[in-house]
Chains A and B, each alone.
Chain A
Amino acid sequence: MKDIKLKGSVLSYTLLILALLFFIFSPISYVKATSSTRYHAGYFYYEDSGPSVEGVQGNIFTIYPHVPWSEICAEWVTIVISYNYNYWVQTGYIHHWIWAIFFPILTVDFYIEENDNNGRSMKYPAIVKPLMDHTYKYKLLLSGPGEFTYYIYEGTNLICSGIINTNPYSTQDLQAFVETSVSSIKVDGSHFTYLRYRLTGSQWPLWDRHEPSWDYPYYLDQRGHYEFAVYGGG
């Protein structure tokens, strides 16, 4: 009886000591943050001088590339609020790593991110995950003073939508890009279609001009003003 008691105490103390040791020597000390270097390939919106744009949307095909530990791969559309201060609102999907109790897990999420006067915030607005080889429509627009609305659809089905508030809320430019944090991520298969812009009102014309941009080792296949594919890396 005394022996069982002793064993129980030893077990509970051992568990506690192991957990504390895990906490003290856990990967926190050696986990590396996501690389600050970024590689981009995609389009800037371009138009002849006119009123500023207030909305962007595009269909993005979901790829599942190999993403090394702690790195990211994202595909997105953005409304630039200010280049000078790096303020913007962005929606798309991102492959990123999370730590689940004992192990790091690579996961993929729809996301909405903003950078403004008050700082930076990123959120995952949907419980569901973007599925491989599926195409989703991402839509972002200035819907009121200080207020942007985002929508993510699969076909005509709305997956999620919501409002984010930014300060300031002036809109300057649009971008649609594939982004990686290391050049070893192979992004073959990335495909953006039906890029659209909104000036005011409810019309969503297709992009009729664009400015291409890509960082080696990624390449851009410019299939039109509102469609492109990206390949390379690895």
Chain B
Amino acid sequence: MEKNSKKIMLSLIVVLIILILNSWALNLSIKPVSSIVDFYGTSEEVSLKEFLNYASENNLSIYLPNKLPSNNFNMTAIYLKRGPFIAIIVYSTEGNKDYKTAEFTIEMSSVNPDRIPTFSDLQIEAEKSQDIIAMEINNWPIIIYEHAYNGHPEFRKKYGEYTLIAYFWIEQVCYSMGAPTLNNAMDLIPIIESMSLMV
């Protein structure tokens, strides 16, 4: 009789464990995620001339690269939010104007001078992983992530979860370059080196 009760008790425990595992698996599959409204909702597409005029009127120094990942790349779109200043410049070999899935993009935004990191701040960050490289070019602090997560589902569908991103600060503008088709930091460095003042 006692042996029987033990058996039933053991079965009940196993059943409970199975049900808890089941709930855990179900909760993973219905895990909620929220989102934000994308940049198309708050920006306008402008020409290069309009963009540079805006920058000039607002005393923003804008640098753009003279060199692109290859000769086939063309600037396909510029999306601008005038206040606060945020711009995304899209380059593509296939005429893609979507900043989420294009092969090469540059994002710019104004930054509080107090928030611009120094090269030594970036070096500390780079010590955390071999995929992070800190450097300076023309006194611009630069940090390159060779394995950065991209939050756009459309991007991940096309290129996979991770991408190559460089952040750098020139005067009071924070720049970032996203280059999913390039392999590593060495491919991005010549492009950053070629950045020159437009306005």
What are the residues of chain A within 8 A of B152 when measuring CB–CB? 85-86
A1 to B81, CA, bound (A): 83
Contact of A49 among B26, B107, B110 (CB under 8 A): B110
What are the residues of chain B within 8 A of A222 when measuring CB–CB? none
Interface centre among B8, B41, B82, B153 (most CB of A within 10 A): B41
By secondary structure, the A interface counts as mixed
What are the residues of chain A within 8 A of B42 when measuring CB–CB? 44, 46, 173, 211, 213
A78 and B27 in contact, given A12-B8, A20-B18, A173-B42 (Cβ under 8 angstroms): no
* Interface stretch (choices A129-137, A151-159, A164-172, A186-194): A164-172
Contact of B176 among A50, A82, A88, A113 (CB under 8 A): A82
B37–A168 CB distance below 8 A: no
Q: Is A163 an interface residue (CB 8 A)?
A: no
Size category of the B interface is: 35 or more
A47–B84 CB distance below 8 A: yes
| Residues of A near any B CB (own CB < 8 A) | 1, 4-5, 8-9, 11-13, 15-16, 18-20, 22-23, 26-28, 31, 33-34, 36, 38, 40, 42, 44-54, 70, 72, 74, 76, 78, 80, 82-88, 90, 92, 94, 96-102, 104, 111, 113, 115-120, 122, 142, 145, 167-168, 170, 172-173, 175, 177, 179, 199-200, 209, 211, 213
Q: Which 7 A-B pairs have the closest CB atoms?
A: A86-B151, A8-B4, A12-B11, A99-B26, A83-B39, A96-B32, A84-B107
| Residues of B near any A CB (own CB < 8 A) | 1, 3-5, 7-8, 10-12, 14-15, 18-23, 25-27, 29-39, 41-42, 58, 60, 81-86, 88, 99-100, 105, 107, 109-112, 114-115, 117, 121, 125, 145, 148-153, 155, 163, 165, 167, 174, 176, 178
